[in-house]
């Protein structure tokens, strides 16, 4: 698989089912998912493979692992659209449902080895019906690798939670702006880590189309686990 991400908004697809090479203007008879969702014959690789997970509403006293289901993995633009166009929109999910879109190999859990020292940017919207356009933008920003520099590897995944009176979108990160417990780090390291996370937060705030006065908050997973709630006190906000 190629190690160079393809900008999702620059794929030159023409209406008649051909793709134009922007370097020389030539065309080739290829079919993309935009032409035929079942029989496309060209793929534009993503930088990472991503896995979609679903949390179904509980019907009784069920363990989290019983509710969390792995749906499918994909590693190309075409496969993403093939998945997205064939699943229930976030706006139609039942209350207490969640979609999780994470890098392959990372479970959407605080305890996962790649998450346990991390945290998340999150914003809670009023109303129980999600905005599909905003959720789609969040997913595209994640799989398109547009929220961070390529060598940072901070973004682990994005989540949408559907609840009775609100819906929430979160962006999970590998670190939480401070060293893991028991490990020393100087102030310069802490400042650099926080600055990196704030930069991601600012970009994510733009993706969510939030106004300047609307605060996107960051919480550490360790704090959430300690408090027993996903709504732990925010470490900082943008």
Residue 226 confidence (pLDDT): 62
Classify residue 12: in a domain, yes or no. Answer: no
Asked if residue 113 is part of any domain, the answer here is yes
The Cα 174–Cα 53 span in angstroms is 18
- Residue 8 belongs to a domain: no
Per-residue pLDDT reduced to its tens digit, 144-167: 999 998 788 999 999 999 999 999
Predicted local confidence at residue 98, as pLDDT: 97
Domain range for residue 211? 48-237
As a whole number of angstroms, the distance between CA 93 and CA 203 comes to 27
Q: Are 177 and 119 in contact (CB under 8 A)?
A: yes
Of residues 136, 131, 126, 129, the one with CA closest to residue 52: 136
Nearest to 154 by CA among 219, 216, 199, 107: 199
Is the pLDDT at 133 greater than 80? The verdict is yes
pLDDT of residue 158: 98
More confident residue, 228 or 4: 228
Handedness of CA 46, 47, 48, 52 (dihedral sign): negative
Q: How many helices (H) and strands (E) does the chain have?
A: 5, 10
102 found inside a domain: yes
Give Rg (Cα) of the chain.
Answer: 19
pLDDT tens for each residue of 44-56: 999 999 999 999 9
Give residue for tokens 């030159």. 12
What are the pLDDT digits (tens) for 35-92? 777 777 778 999 999 999 999 998 888 877 889 999 999 999 999 999 999 999 999 9
Q: From residue 173, give the alpha-carbon distance in Å to each of 56, 103, 148, 207.
A: 23, 11, 11, 16
The reply to whether 192 falls in a domain is yes
Judged against a pLDDT cut of 80, whether residue 185 lies above it is answered with no
Specify the pLDDT at position 179: 58
* Domain assignment of residue 38, yes or no: no
Q: Is residue 83 part of a domain?
A: yes
Residue 60 in tokens: 């009784």
Q: For the segment 98-116, what is each residue's pLDDT rounded down to a tens digit?
A: 999 999 999 999 999 999 9
Instruction: Give start and end residues of each alpha helix (H) in 108-228.
Output: 132-143, 187-207, 221-227
Rounded to an integer, what distance in angstroms lies between the CA atom of residue 48 and that of residue 155? 11
Bridging pattern class, strands 97-103 and 45-55: antiparallel
Which residues have CB under 8 Å from 113's CB, separation 6+? none
Distance CA 221, CA 224 (A): 5
The yes-or-no verdict on residue 18 having pLDDT over 70 is no
Q: Is 28 among the domain residues?
A: no
Q: How many domains does the chain have?
A: 1
Q: Supply the CATH number for residue 83's domain.
A: 3.30.760.10
């Amino acid at each position: 698989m190629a190690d160079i991400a393809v900008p999702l908004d620059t794929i030159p697809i023409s209406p008649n089912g051909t793709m134009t090479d922007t370097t020389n203007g030539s065309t080739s008879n290829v079919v993309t998912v935009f032409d035929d969702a079942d029989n496309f014959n060209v793929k534009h690789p993503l930088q990472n493979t991503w896995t979609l997970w679903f949390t179904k509403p509980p019907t009784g006293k069920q363990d989290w692992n019983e509710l969390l289901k792995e749906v499918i993995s994909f590693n190309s633009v075409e496969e993403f659209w093939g998945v997205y166009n064939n699943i229930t929109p976030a706006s139609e999910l039942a209350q207490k449902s969640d979609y999780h879109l994470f890098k392959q190999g990372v479970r959407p859990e605080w305890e996962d080895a790649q998450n346990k020292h991390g945290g998340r940017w999150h914003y809670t919207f009023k109303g129980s019906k999600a905005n599909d356009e905003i959720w789609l933008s969040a997913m595209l920003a994640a799989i398109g690798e547009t929220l961070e520099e390529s060598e940072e590897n901070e973004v682990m995944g994005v989540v949408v939670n559907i609840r009775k009176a609100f819906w929430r979108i979160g962006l999970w990160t590998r670190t939480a702006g401070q060293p893991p417990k028991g490990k020393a780090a100087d102030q310069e390291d802490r400042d650099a880590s926080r600055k990196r996370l704030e930069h991601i937060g600012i970009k994510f705030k733009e993706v969510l189309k939030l106004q300047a006065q609307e605060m996107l908050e960051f919480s550490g997973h360790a704090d959430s686990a300690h408090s027993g709630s996903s709504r732990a006190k925010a470490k900082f906000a943008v």
